[in-house]
Amino acid sequence: MVRLPGGNFLMGTNDEEGFPADGEGPIREVSIAPFNIDETTVTNRQFEAFIKATHYKTDAERYGWSFVFYGLLSEAMRNTYPRVAMQTPWWCAIQDATWDHPEGRDSDIADRIDHPVVHVSWNDATAYCQWAGKRLPNEAEWEYAARGGLVQKRFPWGDELTPHGEHHCNIWQGHFPDYNSLEDGYLGTAPAKSFPPNNFGLYNMSGNVWEWCNDWFSPDFHQRDTRIDPKGPADGTSKVIRGGSFLCHHSYCNRYRVAARSSNTPDSSSSNMGFRCAV
């Protein structure tokens, strides 16, 4: 883990490329106490140790299925499991897709042991944190960490997506969702320790996998919440996710910016959601 000193920082954005309806703005000064945070998302190797020690069953295992990006599936699998919705036709509900079988029963993580664990719900992430003596970061902590000490920059490394033509995160290039040019080298997840870290020494705070935060999601609660160690609403229906994923593209999900935010229900899982821990 990396020890962060805390202090005041400018949270949120008024970026014209942002999504005001998500509650990204307005920019406000927030004070954060010192805390520790994992330098990477929790990996398959780490999650496997948790499963072996506790015999925990994830939500995806209990439900018997999880959402998988159709581009990761074989043609036979695509024909067997049709896409789930016209609004998001890139998702398939795959039977037996779990953290250790990311594309269903015929897949495994042998060559992805140091990639982020996926198909983990907020409930699963919280269970892992409790076992490890840690917790999920609050949303304000997550954004403070992602910014790496930079003030109001769009990404953890600055304002330019590919400075000097170099890729600093794993997101979608090409035309989403039908063509990925793989300019960053990855179709699905990348190893948890990929690309240069930010100034705090943290890896992949943008792209790769969405990261669960502890907070309940609200698009406007921050406008009346405390500015000192804010922890979000007392209740809600969805939990905050931050950072974007390998599926994010400027054309539809420009949420790999450090101020961007989204949400999902606590029992939801997919092939692009993971987490990192804090203390």
pTM (predicted TM-score) = 0.96
At 217, which amino acid appears?
F
* pLDDT above 80: residue 33: yes
179 three-class SS = strand
Report which secondary-structure segment, H or E, holds 263.
strand 261-264
Which pLDDT tens digit goes with each residue over 128-156? 999 999 999 999 999 999 999 999 999 99
- The predicted structure's pLDDT at residue 190: 98
Query: Domain coordinates of the chain in residue numbers?
Result: 2-55+115-274
| Measured distance CA(70)–CA(103) in Å, rounded | 9
Q: Which of 90, 44, 13 is nearest to 260 (CA)?
A: 13
Are 180 and 269 a contacting pair, CB within 8 Å?
no
| Measured distance CA(140)–CA(151) in Å, rounded | 14
CATH code, 2-55+115-274: 3.90.1580.10
Reported confidence tier of residue 16, pLDDT bands at 50, 70, 90: confident
223 three-class SS = helix
Q: Which of 160, 152, 137, 153 is nearest to 230 (CA)?
A: 137
Query: Taking residues 151-177, what's their average pLDDT?
Result: 96
